[in-house]
C-alpha cells in the first residue's frame, strides 16, 4: 500500500448488464487504491457524465460515488453492476432527455454533449477513464480518446462480439446458463414429443447460439450471419426428432436471425441512442413456421412446438468461474497500463493470453461468426474440422 497519491481513476459500466461487471469494478478499485489512486465510480454509464451539475452545493450523488475496498468487497461476488447502467450515447442525446440544467444550451433534436463530458471529467479531476462495455459503449470511449481523454477500456457483452478480443465479460455465464436451461426444457419437449425453439441473445453475431449447439444443447441453430430457409430447418428438425428415442428436437434461434429474403424482427420501431431497435419475436415466428410446415416432412402429421425466450435469465444472477476470474485479470491489466502511462488501449484475451490492443479496433472492425469456417449452411449447425490449436471458445476474433 502506497501513501503517494498518483491521481484519480474513473470507472463506468454501460449497455446491458452481465455477470462479471462487479468483479471488474472490484478488481480495478482494490488495485488502484493500493497503488495510491483515488477511484470514482460513474453511475449509469455515460448518463452520469452528462448529468453532473458543476455548481456549488449541487447534489450529484446520482452521478458518481467515491469507491473504496469496503464498498467493492460487498459487491464483488454478485451479478449485474452496482454502478447501474444505461444506453446513453453522449454524442447523440435527443432533445427530450437533455438534462434540465442544459436545456437552454442544447436545443437541437439530437445534441452532442461531449463538451459537457469533458468539462465534467475535469471537474471531477479524473486522470484516467476505464469504461466497461460492448461496442456501443466503447465506441464513445474511442471518441473521448480522440478528444484527449486517457482511456483504457474493458470489453463486456454476452454476445462476445467486441472486436479485437477472444473474450468479453459475461459470455461464459451466458453460455453456461443457456446450456443448463435448454437441458431443463428438454423434459417438457420430450414429454410432449415437440419441437423446442429457444430464442437466445445475438443481434449481429451468433456466438451465443453456436457454442451451446456445438456443446450438444441443440440439434440446430440459426444465426444472424446466415439467412436461413424455414423449410430446410423444418425438414432437419423432423429428421432429428425421428432419430431421437424421446421424439423431440431442439433449435436455438439468435434474436438477430433472419429468414431467407427477410430482415430482422423488432418488437417496435423505437430506437435507442445508438440507433438500435429492440429485437424480439423471431423465436415465436420460427415456432409458428415449424408447426405449419411440419406435416410436409412428417407424413402429414403436425408437430407442436414449445417456444421459450431466455432473455434476461441468462444475464442475471451471479457470475460463473470464468466471469469471476477474467474480470479480475482485466481490471489488473488496466492498472498495469495506467501505471506505465499507457492509454488508448483495449484490454483483451487473445489466443489464450491476456494482452491489449489499440482502442480504435472497436470502431474500425467487426466481430462475427466466420460462416465459411464454422457454420454448415446445409445442416444449420456448427462445423469444424479440428480443434487443434483453436482458442478456448473456438470461434474467436479475427482482425
CB contact at 8 A, 323 and 76:
no
As a whole number, mean pLDDT of residues 273-297 equals: 90
Residue whose entry in the numeric block shows the C-alpha cell 423465436 = 283
| Residue range(s) defining the domain that contains residue 108 | 7-169+317-364
The pLDDT of 277-293, averaged and rounded, is 91
Exposed/middle/buried for residue 43 (C-beta within 10 Å: 0-12, 13-18, 19+) = buried
**Would you call 372 a catalytic residue per the annotation?**
no
* Structure confidence at residue 391 as a pLDDT band (50, 70, 90): confident
Looking at residue 18, its pLDDT comes to 97
pLDDT at residue 256 greater than cutoff 70: yes
Residues 153, 190 within the same domain: no
In this predicted structure, what is the pLDDT of residue 159?
95
Residue 164 pLDDT more than 80? Answer: yes
Residue 86 belongs to a domain with what CATH number? 3.40.50.450
Q: Is residue 396 part of a domain?
A: no
Query: Residue 72 and residue 57: Cα distance in Å, rounded?
Result: 27
| Position 395 in a domain | no
What is residue 3's predicted lDDT score, i.e. its pLDDT? 55
- Is 11 in the same domain as 159? yes
As a whole number of angstroms, the distance between CA 43 and CA 346 comes to 21
Q: pLDDT digit string (tens) for 19-40?
A: 999 999 999 999 999 999 999 9
Residues 204 and 80 in one domain: no
pTM to 2 decimal places = 0.94
In 3D, which of 82, 78, 103 has the Cα closest to residue 93? 103
Q: How many percent of the chain have pLDDT more than 70?
A: 98
Indicate the average pLDDT of the chain.
Answer: 94
CA atoms within 13 A on the CB side of 96: 2
Out of 38, 136, 159, 161, the active site residue is: 159
Q: Based on the domain organization, do 101 and 195 belong to the same domain?
A: no
Would you say residue 76 has pLDDT above 90? Answer: no
- Return d(Cα 266, Cα 270) in angstroms, integer: 9
Q: Rounded to 5 degrees, what angle do the CA atoms 163, 164, 169 make?
A: 75
Please indicate, yes or no, whether residues 271 and 124 belong to a single structural domain of this protein.
no
Q: Is residue 46 domain-resident?
A: yes
**pLDDT of 399 above 80:** no
Q: CB of 34 within 8 A of CB of 105?
A: no
Q: Is the pLDDT of residue 1 over 60?
A: no
Contact 195, 290 (CB under 8 A): yes
Provide the 8-state DSSP code for 397. -
Specify if 15 maps to a domain. yes
Per-residue pLDDT at 389: 79
Amino acid at each position: 500500500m502506497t501513501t503517494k497519491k498518483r491521481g484519480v481513476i474513473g470507472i463506468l459500466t454501460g449497455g446491458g448488464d452481465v455477470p462479471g461487471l462487479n468483479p471488474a469494478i472490484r478488481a480495478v478499485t482494490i488495485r488502484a487504491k493500493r497503488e495510491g489512486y483515488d477511484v470514482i465510480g460513474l453511475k449509469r454509464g455515460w448518463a452520469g457524465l452528462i448529468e453532473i451539475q458543476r455548481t456549488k452545493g449541487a447534489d450529484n450523488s446520482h452521478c458518481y460515488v467515491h469507491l473504496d475496498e469496503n464498498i467493492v468487497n460487498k459487491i464483488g461476488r454478485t451479478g449485474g453492476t452496482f454502478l447501474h447502467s444505461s444506453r446513453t450515447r453522449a454524442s447523440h442525446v435527443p432533445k427530450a432527455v437533455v438534462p434540465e440544467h442544459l436545456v437552454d444550451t442544447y436545443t437541437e433534436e439530437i445534441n452532442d454533449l461531449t463538451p459537457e463530458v469533458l468539462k465534467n471529467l475535469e471537474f471531477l479531476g479524473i486522470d484516467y477513464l476505464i469504461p466497461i462495455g460492448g461496442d456501443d459503449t466503447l465506441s464513445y470511449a474511442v471518441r473521448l480518446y480522440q478528444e484527449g481523454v486517457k482511456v483504457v477500456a474493458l470489453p463486456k457483452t454476452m454476445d462476445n462480439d467486441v472486436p479485437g478480443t477472444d473474450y468479453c465479460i459475461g459470455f461464459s455465464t451466458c453460455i453456461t446458463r443457456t446450456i443448463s436451461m435448454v437441458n431443463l426444457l428438454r423434459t417438457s419437449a420430450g414429454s410432449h414429443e415437440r419441437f423446442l425453439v429457444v430464442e437466445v441473445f445475438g443481434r449481429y453475431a451468433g456466438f451465443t447460439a453456436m457454442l451451446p449447439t456445438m456443446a450438444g444443447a441443440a440439434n440446430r441453430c440459426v444465426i444472424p450471419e446466415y439467412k436461413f430457409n424455414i423449410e430446410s430447418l423444418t425438414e432437419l428438425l423432423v429428421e432429428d426428432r425421428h432419430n431421437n428415442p424421446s421424439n423431440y428436437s431442439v433449435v436455438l434461434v439468435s434474436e438477430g436471425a433472419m429468414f431467407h429474403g427477410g430482415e430482422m424482427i423488432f418488437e417496435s420501431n423505437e430506437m435507442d441512442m445508438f440507433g438500435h431497435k429492440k429485437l424480439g419475436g423471431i423465436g415465436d415466428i420460427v415456432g409458428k413456421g415449424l408447426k405449419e410446415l411440419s406435416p410436409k416432412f412428417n407424413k402429414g402429421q403436425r408437430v407442436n412446438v414449445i417456444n421459450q425466450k431466455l432473455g434476461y435469465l441468462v444475464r442475471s444472477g451471479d457470475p460463473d468461474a470464468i466471469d469471476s476470474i477474467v474480470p479480475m485479470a482485466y481490471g489488473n491489466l488496466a492498472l498495469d497500463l495506467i501505471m506505465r502511462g499507457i492509454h488508448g488501449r483495449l484490454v483483451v484475451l487473445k489466443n489464450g493470453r491476456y494482452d491489449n490492443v489499440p482502442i480504435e479496433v472497436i470502431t474500425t472492425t467487426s466481430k462475427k461468426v466466420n460462416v465459411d469456417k464454422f457454420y454448415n449452411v446445409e445442416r444449420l449447425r456448427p462445423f469444424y474440422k479440428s480443434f487443434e490449436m483453436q482458442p478456448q471458445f473456438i470461434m474467436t476474433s479475427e482482425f
